[in-house]
């Protein structure tokens, strides 16, 4: 069973404190505008500090489910935003202003789309009913440090690390307080959530199934899933929801998957080795019953690849390709495996096919750029990378690839410039300055590029001094 961990607990608590530090000292009346402002500030800080997962397909999938459910609700006056929180903890939460966060660990834990939809419906219900705002508003003497501590505790899900983080900046008594929903909040969110879920077309028992799954995680791992800490009273909720099903939704059906491709979305999330092996076993069993199911073959291939069974992954992808020869995900994944194993020609062949099907897919464009580069086609690799220079990736700084491509094309000015941008984003000041100064040698004074480089140098020099980079950082990456 996956370990229930929370990423960078102290940092997140500190971020939330900084968010709240700039707001008013007392929430005498927590208005809609206050809620929108606080929610937006939280979101921007989480985004800036890389707590959110940037997978466009996965985000679009969760947003699609969320919008489907929102269409069936008495929507609060917010512009709702659905995000994936980059943590393996099993949790989901709503913050002020219509911001809904689903942990990637929760997406891995559910068994179908309807269960995920049930969680999202429940969080939307909390947001629509303004439960967090209600708690804040009723705490009229709550000051900034205490409010920061409470919200940090809700994000972190409790535990030793969370308590330490809260205690670092809370006032006396703050650690004993909590943002846990009251029983009436949970009951209202359950009532509204199941209405949203059914009206959106999903089967109503899905939310109970989810609660039973996380109770099972608690039993097997001996660790309380964070969802149970921020949404207490789970046994009572299961009993309450079961009564609702028996009295109001008896005989009501619904779909398990509507937006679709649940298995593919789930396969995009990396899991620990134990979960991967368990998941692989389940997929193999399912394929024995339905051997031509493309989604099962695709999910099994990605699982095999994460385990390290590259040949088995490729074999399953090729089986899937014979059934669905125009499937861009399958073509992309085959290309990625060939690229990883050093077969650049086969990688480029499959990625070019995928790009013809969907030229706007950023992951395909990135992989194709790498394949072009590996085959020595540096101009086409540059074209691919330049197309992505304004996009955000979780683990990729596209400026590095642009710099490398320009270097192989012997355009040293642009290569140094993009290396400067790369190191600037990586917060390596001395390395960035080294490359920007080198780049200036290639452009006439007053040209647009020279001005941009000078502005970047001035911006870096205006920063407070930090520990210097290792000397090798500035030079070892210069392309030849």
pLDDT tens digit sequence for 149-200:
555 554 544 444 344 333 433 333 333 334 456 778 888 999 999 999 999 9
226 in the same domain as 303: no
Under the banding of pLDDT at 50, 70 and 90, the label for residue 277 is: confident
Q: What is the pLDDT of residue 7?
A: 40
Q: Is residue 409 assigned to a domain?
A: yes
Q: Is residue 180 assigned to a domain?
A: yes
Q: What is the 3-state secondary structure (H, E, C) of 74-129?
A: CCCCCCCEEEEECCCCCCEEEECCCEEEEEHHHHHHCCCHHHHHHHHHHHHHHHHC
State how far the alpha carbon of 221 is from the alpha carbons of 111, 157, 225, 249, 456, in Å.
Answer: 18, 16, 9, 33, 50
Q: What is the pLDDT of residue 229?
A: 62
Which residues does residue 99 pair with via DSSP β-bridges, in sequence order?
A: 81, 95
On whether the CB atoms of residues 104 and 266 are closer than 8 A, the answer is: no
Given phi > 0 = left and psi -120 to 50 = alpha, else beta, which region is 130?
A: left
Please state, for a pLDDT cut of 70, what percent of the chain lies above it. Answer: 77
299 in the same domain as 193: no
Query: For residue 158, which phi and psi values (nearest 5 degrees)?
Result: 85, -170
State how far the alpha carbon of 39 is from the alpha carbons of 43, 102, 133, 164, 261, in Å.
Answer: 6, 15, 11, 24, 30
Please state, in angstroms and rounded to a whole number, the distance separating the CA atoms of residues 347 and 19.
45
235 in the same domain as 332: no
Please state, in angstroms and rounded to a whole number, the distance separating the CA atoms of residues 465 and 463.
6
Q: What average pLDDT does this structure show over 460-477? A: 58
Compare 390 and 5 and report the one with higher pLDDT.
390
Q: Is residue 257 assigned to a domain?
A: no
Joined tokens for residue 94: 């709503």
331 in the same domain as 294: yes
Summarize pLDDT for 297-308 with one digit per residue, the tens. 999 999 999 899
Please state, in angstroms and rounded to a whole number, the distance separating the CA atoms of residues 450 and 349.
39
Please state, in angstroms and rounded to a whole number, the distance separating the CA atoms of residues 8 and 224.
19
Q: Is residue 338 assigned to a domain?
A: yes
Q: Which residues contact 467 (CB under 8 A, 6 or more apart)?
A: none
Compare 329 and 224 and report the one with higher pLDDT.
329
pLDDT reading at 471 higher than 80:
no
209 in the same domain as 299: no
366 in the same domain as 225: no
206 in the same domain as 300: no
231 in the same domain as 327: no
Q: What average pLDDT does this structure show over 349-367? A: 96
Joined tokens for residue 175: 């650690």
Strand order in the sheet with 99-103: 81-85, 99-103, 92-95
pLDDT reading at 455 higher than 90:
yes
Q: Is residue 479 assigned to a domain?
A: no
Number of domains forming the structure of the chain:
2
Picking from 417, 440, 432, 439, the residue whose alpha carbon sits closest to that of residue 463 is 432
Q: Is residue 275 assigned to a domain?
A: yes
Q: What is the pLDDT of residue 20?
A: 46
226 in the same domain as 101: yes
Domain range for residue 82? 9-248
Q: How many residues does the chain have?
A: 480
Q: What is the pLDDT of residue 50?
A: 79
Under the banding of pLDDT at 50, 70 and 90, the label for residue 147 is: low
Q: Is residue 340 assigned to a domain?
A: yes
224 in the same domain as 284: no
Compare 478 and 227 and report the one with higher pLDDT.
227
Q: Is residue 317 assigned to a domain?
A: yes
Query: For residue 364, which phi and psi values (nearest 5 degrees)?
Result: -65, -45
Summarize pLDDT for 389-441 with one digit per residue, the tens. 988 776 789 999 999 999 999 999 999 999 999 999 999 999 999 999 999 99
In this prediction the pTM is 0.72
pLDDT reading at 23 higher than 70:
no
Query: Residue 430 is part of a domain; what is its CATH number?
Result: 1.25.40.10
223 in the same domain as 139: yes
Summarize pLDDT for 214-263 with one digit per residue, the tens. 877 765 554 555 666 666 667 888 888 888 888 888 888 899 999 988 99
407 in the same domain as 293: yes
Q: What is the pLDDT of residue 35?
A: 86
């Amino acid at each position: 069973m996956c370990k229930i961990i929370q990423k960078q607990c102290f940092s997140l608590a500190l971020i939330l404190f900084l968010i709240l530090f700039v707001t008013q000292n007392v929430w005498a009346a927590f208005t809609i505008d206050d809620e929108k402002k606080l929610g937006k500030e939280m979101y921007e800080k989480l985004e800036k500090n890389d707590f959110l997962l940037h997978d466009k397909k996965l985000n679009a999938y969760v947003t699609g489910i969320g919008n489907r459910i929102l269409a069936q609700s008495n929507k609060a006056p917010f512009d709702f935003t659905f995000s994936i929180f980059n943590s393996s903890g099993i949790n989901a939460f709503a913050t002020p202003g219509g911001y809904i966060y689903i942990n990637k660990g929760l997406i891995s834990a559910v068994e179908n789309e309807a269960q995920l939809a049930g969680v999202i419906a429940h969080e939307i219900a909390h947001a629509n009913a303004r439960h967090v705002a209600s708690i804040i508003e009723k705490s009229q003497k709550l000051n900034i440090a205490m409010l920061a501590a409470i919200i940090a505790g809700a994000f972190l899900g409790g535990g030793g690390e969370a308590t330490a983080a809260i205690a670092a900046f809370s006032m006396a008594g703050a650690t004993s307080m909590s943002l846990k929903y009251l029983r009436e909040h949970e009951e209202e969110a359950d009532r509204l959530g199941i209405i949203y879920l059914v009206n959106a077309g999903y089967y109503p028992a899905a939310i109970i199934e989810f609660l039973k799954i996380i109770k099972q995680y608690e039993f097997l791992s001996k660790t309380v899933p964070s969802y149970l800490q921020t949404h207490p009273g789970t046994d009572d909720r299961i009993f309450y929801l079961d009564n609702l099903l028996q009295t109001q939704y008896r005989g009501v059906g619904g779909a398990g998957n509507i937006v679709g491709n649940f298995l593919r979305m789930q396969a995009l999330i990396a899991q620990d080795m134990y979960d991967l092996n368990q998941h692989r076993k389940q997929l193999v069993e399912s394929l024995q019953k339905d051997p031509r199911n493309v989604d099962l073959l695709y999910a099994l291939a990605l699982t095999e690849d994460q385990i390290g069974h590259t040949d088995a992954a490729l074999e399953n992808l090729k089986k899937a390709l014979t059934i669905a020869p125009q499937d861009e995900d399958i073509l992309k994944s085959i290309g990625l495996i060939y690229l990883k194993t050093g077969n650049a020609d086969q990688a480029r062949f499959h990625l070019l096919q995928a790009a013809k099907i969907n030229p706007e897919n950023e992951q395909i464009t990135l992989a194709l750029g790498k394949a072009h580069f590996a085959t020595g086609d540096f101009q086409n690799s540059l074209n691919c990378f330049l197309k992505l220079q304004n996009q955000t990736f979780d683990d990729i700084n596209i400026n590095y690839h642009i710099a490398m491509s320009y270097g192989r094309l012997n355009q040293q000015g642009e290569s140094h410039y993009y290396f400067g941008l790369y190191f600037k984003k990586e917060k390596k000041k001395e390395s960035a300055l080294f490359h920007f100064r080198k780049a200036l040698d290639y452009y006439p004074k007053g040209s647009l590029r020279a001005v941009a480089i000078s502005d970047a140098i001035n911006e870096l020099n205006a920063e407070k001094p930090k520990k210097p980079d290792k000397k090798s950082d500035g030079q070892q990456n210069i392309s030849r």
